[in-house]
Copies of this chain bind each other. A is one copy, B any other.
Amino acid sequence: MTDKHSYGQFCPLSMASEIVCTRWTPLILREFLHGTTRFNDLRRGVPKMSPALLSKRLKELEAAGIITSETRADGNPEYRLTEMGRELEPALMALGGWGHRWIESSVSLRNLDPSLLMWDMRRNLAPLSLPDRRCTIQFLYPELAPVDQNWWIVVEDGAVDLCRIDPGHEIDLLVSASLRAMTSVWMGLTTIKAEVEAGRIQLDGERAIARSIGKWLGLSHFAPMKRNVG
């Protein structure tokens, strides 16, 4: 009829699913809802997706009216949600909230990935809850392969940068952790405090910054919410 990919149903849920519920698309939209606008930043949020497929999906989303692309001064496109796209947020949040409440942590925690964790903590970090000067926080995951062990987050003038190579600044706080413990904290399965007491996370450095970590550390949007399963 219309095309091969269509469900052929006029039902609004069917029409919406044709656009939103295709492979990778909810994750791309998650990146957009976090404010990402550029191709390679999108890729950091969905690193296992091939660039060709991401490119295809962006064209589909643009054709559907969910995003626009505009060529910037540097000649590269900038993608942005339209109002239609922004209004997907409640539906995606509801789906994410359901996942948070119902999907077993033992399943989610099979997908540990320091890169995704740090990338998300970077964007959810609250600079205003840190001292009003440059702050450098190092994260150390001793159990990982050397290339993934060290991460630095540099906060300066409200901007948050994530580095995989030492920026050379004095370290204000060193967070040493098992990746599983840190991810569990991010997900809201446990707390920094509990993990520190259990010896799975250590904080070394400036007392004030360590004490206020619960305020500035960016966790999952769903972390404060109750769960129904283990």
Contacts and interface: CB of A to CB of B under 8 A. Distances in A.
Total copies of this chain within the assembly: 2
A100 B19 CA distance: 13
Nearest to A84: B102
Given A87-B101, A102-B84, A27 B17 contact: yes
Interface residues of A, number: 59
A11 B219 CA distance: 11
A187 B8 contact: no
Interface string A68-111: 00000000000000011001101110111111111100011111
Given A8-B48, A13-B30, A187-B12, A91 B95 contact: yes
Contact of A99 (B16, B25, B101): B16
A211 B20 CA distance: 40
Q: Which of A6, A16, A46 has the largest number of chain B CB atoms within 10 A?
A: A16
Contact of A10 (B14, B48, B98, B108): B108
A15 B87 contact: no
Contacts of A46: 7
Contacts of A91: 91, 94-95, 97-98
A12 B222 contact: yes
A1 B112 CA distance: 10
Interface in A5-47: 6-17, 19-27, 30, 46
Contacts of A7: 24, 27, 46, 48, 111
Interface string A186-211: 01000000000000000000000000
A222 B97 CA distance: 23
A217 interface: no
